[in-house]
Amino acid sequence: MYARLPLNKIGAFAEYVAVDAHAVAKMPSGYSFTTAAAIPLTGLTAYQGIVEQLEAKPGQTLLILGGSGSFGEMAVPIAKHLGLRVIVTGNSRARERFLAMGAEQYLDYQKENYWQTLSGIDHVIDTLGASEFDRALSVLKPGGRLLSLRTGPNRTFAEQNNFSPLKKVLFTLAGAKYDAAARKQKKEYRFLFVHADGAQLKEVTRIVEENKIIPAIDPHRFSLAQADEALRLVQQGPINGKVLIRMEGCEEE
Ligand X SMILES: NC(=O)c1ccc[n+]([C@@H]2O[C@H](COP(=O)([O-])OP(=O)(O)OC[C@H]3O[C@@H](n4cnc5c(N)ncnc54)[C@H](OP(=O)(O)O)[C@@H]3O)[C@@H](O)[C@H]2O)c1
Which stretches of the chain bind ligand X, using CB under 6 A?
A: 41-42, 45, 65-66, 68-72, 89-91, 94, 109, 127-128, 149-150, 192-194, 237-239
Which residue's CB is nearer to ligand X, number 113 or number 119? 113
User: In the bound complex, which residue of the shown chain has the CB atom lying closest to ligand X?
Assistant: 69
In the complex, the smallest distance separating the C-beta of residue 75 from ligand X, rounded to whole angstroms, is 8
Which CB, 31 or 106, lies closer to ligand X? 106
State the nearest-atom distance from the C-beta of 27 to ligand X, in Å.
Answer: 20
β-partners of residue 147 are 125, 190
Task: CB nearer to ligand X: give 194 or 245.
Answer: 194
Could you tell me which of 207, 217, 240, 193 has the C-alpha nearest to residue 41? 193
- Please confirm whether the linkage preceding 58 is cis (ω < 30° from 0): no
Rounded Cα distance between 57 and 48, Å, is 14
Question: 222: which strand partners?
Answer: 245
**Polymer length in residues for the chain:** 253
Least spacing, CB of residue 244 vs ligand X, in Å: 13
* Nearer CB in complex with ligand X: 25/125: 125
Residue placing its CB nearer to ligand X in the complex, 58 or 242 = 242
Shortest gap between Cβ of 234 and ligand X (angstroms)?
Answer: 7
Which positions ≥6 away from 132 have C-beta within 8 Å? Answer: 65, 126, 151
Tell which phi-psi region holds residue 37, choosing left (phi > 0), alpha (psi between -120 and 50) or beta: alpha
Q: What are phi and psi of 97, to 5 degrees?
A: -60, -45
Least CB distance from residue 224 to ligand X, whole Å?
21
Minimum CB distance to ligand X smaller for 134 or for 186: 134
Angle of the 70-81 helix axis to the 198-211 helix axis, nearest 10: 80
- In this structure, are residues 4 and 201 in contact, taking their beta carbons and an 8 Å threshold? yes
Which 8-state DSSP code applies to residue 132? G
Closest separation in Å from C-beta 231 to ligand X:
12
